[in-house]
Amino acid sequence: MKFLIAGFYHESNTFSPILTKKEDFIEVEGEELLDYFPGAVHAFRAAGAEVVPCTFAGWMSSGVIEEEAYRYYVDKIVAQIREQKNISGIWLQLHGAIYAENIGCGELFMLRKIRKAVGYEIPIAIGMDPHGNLSPDITKYANILRAYHTAPHEDQQDTYRITAEALIDFALRGVKITPAFVRLPMLLCGDTALTRDEPLRSVIARFKKMEAEGEAACASFFISMHSANTENTYPAVVIVPRKPEDYHRAMARAREIAEEIYERRHEFRFEGDLVKPQEAVDMACDSEAYPVVISDSGDNTTAGATGMNTYFLKLFLDKGDFHGKKVLISTIYDKRAYMLLKDREVGSDFDIMLGAGVDEWSQPVPIRGTIKAKGATLVYHPMRSGLRTFAGGLITVSIGDLDITISEVADSFTDMEQCEVGNFKAEDYDIIVVKQAYQFPDLVKFAKKQIIALTPGATYQDLAAIREQYTKLPWTLWPFQGNDK
Ligand SMILES: [Zn+2]
């Protein structure tokens, strides 16, 4: 048996004003690619199969991909697949929310080209991120789909193993399987859909049972990626039956689970207090519990926002008096401001404009103060779970009781290791503003109080309030319609 491995990883935020270019992507080929997917590779090798790596490219969540860039990678992957003879199956890692300029749904575009090259006789499996906006048409081209069962994501390799095992099984038995796919008539805010909370906790437990007991090869819930105006921005339940004749049973089960999730839609809630930005600033300064972590949720870089917004900075500058509290805004991405400061001495004064000015939310603000420290940013590798990578420089500046970290790249403060690398101490502050919506475990542990501020930006969280921006979705969707909030 011979299995090909390829992939493309990108969560495209259509509300970001910045297109993602070819040079932004990390590209791996050959043996190096196999290091990214040990879950799948071990499964293939354990079955005595040959594994052929093609190309895998990806980047962190950001704006829509330039047409030329996406065509380049798809053409490259398809050409590599076409070169191979006697293929038993193709295993892909695709994010699920790939969206390219003038192309639209990136997954469909790639899969159609692959099927054109190899026909429909061999099975295709895809390991995916649950924040995917899937077209129902994906089931015409792929036989196996599975999303990670965790958000925040921790079980990527399990998904890769399970999909690879199903691919081997389908190839050996020569069965042609169509996944059962059911969409939910709702726009779901991904930051309210964590698998540690209900209703997803029990839904995932049910999926695990179905997979363990053999009722399904794979069972998944695609939460969707809400910061994208696409024709596919819907959550979906996808169940892959083991046998072609079980398709209708899988469909009935998918429908039943989709209905149950829809019925429980009001249980999707943020983990912290959700308030207007000004209220968040006032609440934090008046809070008796410290430290307070505030989410600048409209500029969540982990969901593709720019990280450039100066909105919160202006609110704190306007407030002026923080009731004796020390505040950190972490972090504002402005390469020009970073370059202006990077060669200056720590302890020296500065007087600059901060704000990249790419849209109305990132307009420059005059700031004057002292350079406090220099360090680096440490970000999660976009395509390799668990791996951290140094991404660029970070400078901490002080304006009285307000400190700001200014970074060379888009970043989000998600864990304490970043303090060490960035050369700042989280415990020095009473209030920390981060470019996130929900918090990662380190910050949950650190915060005595969490506030989610409904700030404007490319990842705005009050979806019903911006329904006019979702021009590709019907207004009959929950929570758009009526007063059914
Ligand atoms: Zn995700």
pLDDT of residue 385: 77
* Confidence bin at 128 (pLDDT 50/70/90): very high
* Confidence bin at 267 (pLDDT 50/70/90): very high
Q: How far is the CA of 152 from the centre of ligand 1 (A)?
A: 7
CB within 8 Å of 122: residues ≥ 6 apart: 87, 88, 89, 90, 171
Q: How far is the CA of 151 from the centre of ligand 1 (A)?
A: 7
Q: How far is the CA of 14 from the centre of ligand 1 (A)?
A: 16
Whole-number average pLDDT of the chain? 96
How do beta strands 236-240 and 402-407 pair? unpaired
Among candidates 185, 197, 196, 198, which has minimal Cα distance to 236? 185
pLDDT in tens, 56-90: 999 999 999 999 999 999 999 999 999 999 999 99
Q: Tokens for 36?
A: 């990214």
Q: How far is the CA of 124 from the centre of ligand 1 (A)?
A: 22
pLDDT in tens, 398-411: 999 999 999 999 99
Q: How far is the CA of 329 from the centre of ligand 1 (A)?
A: 25
Q: How far is the CA of 201 from the centre of ligand 1 (A)?
A: 16
pLDDT of residue 11: 97
pLDDT in tens, 438-484: 888 899 999 999 999 999 999 999 998 999 999 999 999 999 975 45
Q: How far is the CA of 154 from the centre of ligand 1 (A)?
A: 10
pLDDT of residue 221: 98
Alpha helices in 29-137 (DSSP H): 30-34, 38-46, 67-83, 106-118
Determine the average pLDDT of the residues in 31-41. 96
Q: How far is the CA of 11 from the centre of ligand 1 (A)?
A: 8
Determine the average pLDDT of the residues in 91-116. 98
Pair 378, 417: CB distance under 8 Å: yes
- By mean pLDDT, which of 95-109, 192-206, 260-274, 315-329 is the weakest? 260-274
pLDDT of residue 483: 46
Q: Tokens for 232?
A: 């596919």
Q: Is the pLDDT reported for residue 182 higher than 90?
A: yes
pLDDT of residue 168: 98
Q: How far is the CA of 169 from the centre of ligand 1 (A)?
A: 27
Q: How far is the CA of 150 from the centre of ligand 1 (A)?
A: 9
Q: How far is the CA of 340 from the centre of ligand 1 (A)?
A: 34
- Chain-centre distance of CA 451, in angstroms? 21
Q: How far is the CA of 71 from the centre of ligand 1 (A)?
A: 23
Q: Is the pLDDT reported for residue 386 higher than 80?
A: no
Q: How far is the CA of 153 from the centre of ligand 1 (A)?
A: 7
Q: How far is the CA of 190 from the centre of ligand 1 (A)?
A: 9
